[in-house]
């Protein structure tokens, strides 16, 4: 196979990217980050006090349990892609309890596409309330018009029930919906904004995210069944056809007849969750050399430098689809893949929801809280003293500037896990692959999901 030449300037760019990943920020940068975090927490406390006063002055009496039937439901989840996918079990439980009700879901514009094929959801409302965290937002009339539009849409629906699964910001939107019953966790809602609350809040109990959302659904009258913790996501036929054609064309161009292995190297909320780009490149080389794999890179357009770095360090050409797929197409791509290798990310959860074998790489985050839900997923992490260290109130950044928890997962370790997953998939009839049996995977946690 022909070697891909790398220009000197490209090598330099890749080295700079890895250097930024490995180096501790200078003192002034650390001081600035600490000052910003302290200021943010003070502002949050002041906001809590103001909102508590507003909530008290505007609170409504909780309706009795025998009030009018539930016909319109709103589920609010305005955060990251993976969180939206992890919220779908709650929608399923609500639909089971209220089969005739219309269920709407309010999400960010950037995540709305993932719900395109979900039949349990009647309507998707897309709005980003986080823009109001920036002072300049208040000076733009278009932002006020957009806020007015979503507010009028929610009020016109006359929701009987609204559930906040997005913390304090979700509680504001849930209160503005003016739903008759409003449910959320007490520690994640401003005082008096909900008519009914559950004690505690997210991460205050050591449980998986799906357990957290299902508890809310159950409190709202939802019927929860044992397998609800397993994610399910629909595939849009048109997107599946497009991705099938894309993969067929790529096989023809790159001349790889082995398994389709999709790698996701990005992480939207912190670079400490990323596996080193050099590791991805070495892994891709082995997958191609030993399995004749078609290796696919995915990610958002903003993560293009990561893919570029992986490509520059890999000796063979890869199929780079960063920024080239819609969310329904990404779902179809992951469903068509024989294996997905990813850190703690939205695509990892999507892969579980479409029943594609997964190798999940964990470092700063706890897989018991946010790991893959598929029982056959392999979770790799190094059990070191400082991991997991992720604090949900901030992005995932290594406090030492050297995320050895992720760097310590060697390409050889991940390759062994990949072969193990492919072997198991072949035995289960998912793919026609002939792979040797692999031994145990060392220096890794037990390869099971939190729900196995």
Max CA separation in the chain (angstroms):
72
What pLDDT digit, counting tens, does each position of 337-385 carry? 999 999 989 999 999 999 999 999 988 778 888 899 999 999 998 877 7
Give the start-end residues of each E strand in 269-357. 294-298, 319-320, 339-343
Give the pair of three-digit tokens for residue 18: 């890895």
| Separation between Cα atoms, residue 167 and residue 129, nearest integer Å | 12
What is the dihedral angle through the alpha carbons of 392, 395, 399, 402, rounded to the nearest 10 degrees? 130
Please name each of the domains of the chain with its CATH number: 63-229 (3.40.50.2000), 234-427 (3.40.50.2000)
Give the pair of three-digit tokens for residue 96: 């089971």
User: Which of 165-169, 304-308, 316-320, 373-377 tops mean pLDDT?
Assistant: 316-320
What pLDDT digit, counting tens, does each position of 262-275 carry? 999 876 666 667 89
Percent of the chain at pLDDT above 90? 54
The pLDDT value recorded for residue 392 is 65
Confirm if 224 and 213 have CB atoms less than 8 A apart: no
Cα Rg, the chain, nearest whole Å: 23
The pTM of the full predicted model, rounded to 2 decimals, is 0.83
Residue predicted with more confidence, 286 or 268: 286
What pLDDT digit, counting tens, does each position of 392-447 carry? 656 666 666 677 788 888 999 999 999 999 999 888 776 534 333 232 233 333 33
The pLDDT value recorded for residue 440 is 29
Residue predicted with more confidence, 212 or 201: 212
Average pLDDT score, the chain: 83
Confirm if 177 and 162 have CB atoms less than 8 A apart: yes
Which residues on neighbouring strands pair with residue 279, listed in sequence order?
none
Res. 144: pLDDT tops 60: yes
């Amino acid at each position: 196979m022909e070697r891909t030449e790398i220009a000197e300037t490209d090598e330099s760019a890749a080295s700079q990217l890895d250097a930024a990943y490995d180096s501790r920020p200078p003192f002034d940068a650390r001081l600035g980050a600490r000052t910003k975090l302290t200021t943010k927490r003070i502002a949050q406390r002041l906001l809590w006090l103001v909102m508590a006063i507003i909530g008290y002055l505007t609170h409504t009496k909780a309706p009795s349990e025998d009030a009018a039937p539930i016909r319109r439901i709103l589920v609010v989840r305005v955060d990251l892609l993976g969180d939206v996918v992890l919220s779908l079990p709650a929608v399923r439980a609500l639909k089971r309890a209220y089969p005739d009700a219309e269920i709407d879901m309010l999400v960010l514009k950037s995540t709305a596409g993932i719900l395109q094929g979900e039949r349990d959801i009647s309507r998707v409302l897309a709005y980003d309330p986080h823009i109001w965290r920036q002072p300049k937002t208040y000076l733009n009339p278009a932002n006020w018009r957009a806020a007015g539009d979503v507010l009028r849409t929610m009020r016109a629906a006359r929701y009987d029930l609204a559930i906040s699964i997005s913390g304090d910001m979700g509680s504001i939107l849930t209160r503005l919906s003016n739903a008759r019953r409003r449910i959320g966790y007490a520690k994640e809602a401003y005082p008096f904004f909900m008519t009914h609350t559950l004690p505690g809040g997210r991460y205050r109990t050591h449980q998986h995210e799906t357990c957290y959302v299902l508890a809310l659904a159950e409190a709202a009258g939802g019927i929860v069944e044992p397998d609800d913790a397993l994610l399910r996501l629909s595939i849009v036929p048109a997107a599946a056809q497009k991705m099938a054609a894309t993969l067929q064309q790529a096989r023809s161009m790159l001349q790889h007849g082995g398994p389709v292995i999709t790698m996701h190297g990005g992480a939207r909320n912190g670079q400490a969750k990323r596996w080193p780009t050099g590791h991805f490149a070495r892994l891709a080389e082995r997958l191609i050399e030993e399995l004749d794999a078609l290796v696919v890179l995915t990610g958002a357009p903003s993560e293009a430098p990561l893919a570029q770095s992986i490509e520059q360090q890999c000796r063979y050409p890869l199929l780079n689809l960063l920024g080239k797929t819609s969310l329904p197409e990404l779902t179809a791509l992951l469903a068509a893949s024989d294996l997905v290798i990813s850190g703690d990310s939205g695509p990892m959860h999507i892969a579980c929801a479409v029943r594609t074998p997964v190798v999940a790489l964990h470092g700063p985050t706890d897989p018991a809280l946010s790991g893959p839900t598929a029982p056959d997923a392999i979770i790799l992490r190094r059990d070191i003293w400082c991991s997991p260290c992720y604090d949900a109130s901030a992005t995932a950044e290594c406090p030492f500037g050297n995320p050895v928890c992720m760097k310590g997962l060697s390409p050889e370790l991940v390759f062994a896990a990949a072969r193990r997953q492919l072997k198991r998939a072949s035995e289960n009839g998912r793919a026609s692959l002939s792979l040797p049996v692999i031994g145990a995977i060392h220096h890794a946690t037990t390869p099971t999901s939190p729900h196995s």
